[in-house]
Amino acid sequence: MWSAVGLTLEISLPGSKLSEAYYSCRYACLREPLGFELGAERLEDDNEAIHAWWEDKDGEVLAVGRIHRIPSKSDGSQPDHSGPDAALCPAFTPLTEERDDLRPAVQIRQMGTRESWRRQGLASGLVIALEAAAISQWGAKSGWLQARLSAIPMYASEGWKTFGEEYEVVGIGPHLSMWKMLVGDESN
């Protein structure tokens, strides 16, 4: 648990129960603005992921994010959400190769910050915490994500690099894939 400016950063390891406040924030930030039904904020593998969130002294969740281990034989492609007609997020093509320097690989997903708390460093704090937790929990070597275009500068400020062409996640909007070596190659 970390704190900054009266806020607390919480981390939940795989298998932990997440609060309704966590899911409420995720829905309000990521799914409700796009017209998705309640429930689309929950992913089938949430129980296998590490989650991080900022909350205020009253327990209101202000920003959320999660990271999960990409299975060893997976290229990272998966549905965007657990609801019906979920768009399929594309593969991270470098993971299609047998490269030990990239595995274990992890993916950050479901990053969202309440409107009134944006641009105050909460998302960067989540990224740093999620990276550290994934290295500690799984020995993660590389991180991957699909970023909305508006989020790319924040991820880039934490050392993430874009690759590939821009693509559309149906119902969500334009994205670029990003990656980062978490351990090993410090030149990246």
* pLDDT 10s digits, 99-136: 788 999 999 999 999 999 999 999 999 999 999 999 99
Written as six digits, the tokens of 32 are: 């409700």
Tell me which amino acid residue 145 is.
L
Enter the tokens of residue 106: 């992890």
Domain edges within the chain: 2-181
What confidence tens digit (pLDDT) does each residue in 55-70 have?
999 999 999 999 999 9
Percentage with pLDDT > 70 across the chain: 89
The CATH superfamily holding the domain 2-181 is Gcn5-related N-acetyltransferase (GNAT) (3.40.630.30)
pLDDT at 94: 77
DSSP code, position 74:
-
- Asked if residue 182 lies in contact with residue 146, where contact means CB atoms within 8 angstroms, the answer is no
Q: Is the pLDDT of residue 188 over 60?
A: no
pLDDT tens digits for 24-45?
999 999 999 988 889 889 999 9
Cβ(19)–Cβ(60) below 8 Å? no
Cβ contacts of 41 within 8 Å, gap of 6 or more: 23, 26, 27, 30, 31, 81, 110
Contact 64, 110 (CB under 8 A): yes
